[in-house]
Structures are given as C-alpha cells and as structure tokens.
Amino acid sequence: MQYFSGDELRRELDDVDNLTRQRLDEMSRLFLEDLGKGNGALERRGWPADQVYAAYMASKALVCAYTRVLAREEGAALRVNCVHPGYVLTGMNDYTGVLTAAEGAAAAVAVALAEKGGVTGAYFDRTELGASFV
C-alpha cells in the first residue's frame, strides 16, 4: 500500500486477526464518502489521493484485505487468494497492456489449480507469491 499515506489505515488493513467483513464494508463506504467530498478528504484519512487512480488503488487494497479475512474465516476448508494478472490489454487501460486476456487469466488459473493444502490468504503477482499488499 505504498500509495496510502495514513499509517493508521495501513495498520488496520494489515491487521487480519482483528479485521472483519463488516469493517471492510464500512471502510469502503468511508472511502466513497471521502472521494465525494473532495478538498483533501482522501488525504486526511490516509487513502490514495491520485486524482485518476484513487478508487482503483483503494478497491484493490480492500479486495486484498477481504481475501485475507475470508481465508482466516474459512481455515483449511477453502483456499482464498488474490491474483494480480499483470498489465493486461483491456479497454480500462486503453489497450496499452502487454499481456493478452488469456495470458492474464492463465495466472489466476495456475493459482486456482495449485496443490491441495497450499497457501491461503495470499497475494500473487501473476504466479509468484507477492509481497504484502500493505
């Protein structure tokens, strides 16, 4: 979460032992409120403040946190991970990506088909276990 300026917000998103689905829903609502307010509201709470990508960055961090909460709740019954597919050619990036949709999807498929009992609550950069999202 290199784009998050608030230490308190970072700590809360990283505290998977105490984070809940309800709190993540509340944080999502707070982000949307702050985004709508303008005038530095995002910065004051520590959200990403990039004028173009703030919502994208916040949503990705919240999805990663939600992944870790679900993994904690499900225990060994279900593996829950999130995968960054890479910079894929899509309309969202005006088709400037370097990977085809099939190449991006291959990363998620590879992680989903990993051995039974594998890692859960993790962030993958393509098929490599990535650094913490926080």
Which residue among the candidates 56, 87, 95, 123 is catalytic per the annotation?
56
The answer to whether residue 53 is catalytic is no
Domain that holds residue 71: 7-129
In percent, the amount of the chain with pLDDT more than 90 equals 68
Summarize pLDDT for 21-40 with one digit per residue, the tens.
999 999 999 999 999 998 88
The answer to whether residue 96 is domain-embedded is yes
How many domains, the chain?
Answer: 1
The answer to whether residue 1 is domain-embedded is no
Question: What is residue 54's predicted lDDT score, i.e. its pLDDT?
Answer: 92
The answer to whether residue 29 is domain-embedded is yes
pTM: 0.85
**Which regions of the chain are under pLDDT 70?**
1, 131-134
CATH number of the domain residue 102 falls in: 3.40.50.720
Question: What is residue 83's predicted lDDT score, i.e. its pLDDT?
Answer: 93
Question: What is residue 38's predicted lDDT score, i.e. its pLDDT?
Answer: 85
The answer to whether residue 134 is domain-embedded is no
SS (H, E, C) the chain: CCCCCCHHHHHHHHCCCCCCHHHHHHHHHHHHHHHHHCCCHHHHHCCCCCCCCHHHHHHHHHHHHHHHHHHHHHHHHCCCCEEECCCECCHHHCCCCCECHHHHHHHHHHHHCCCCCCCCCCEEECCEECCCCC
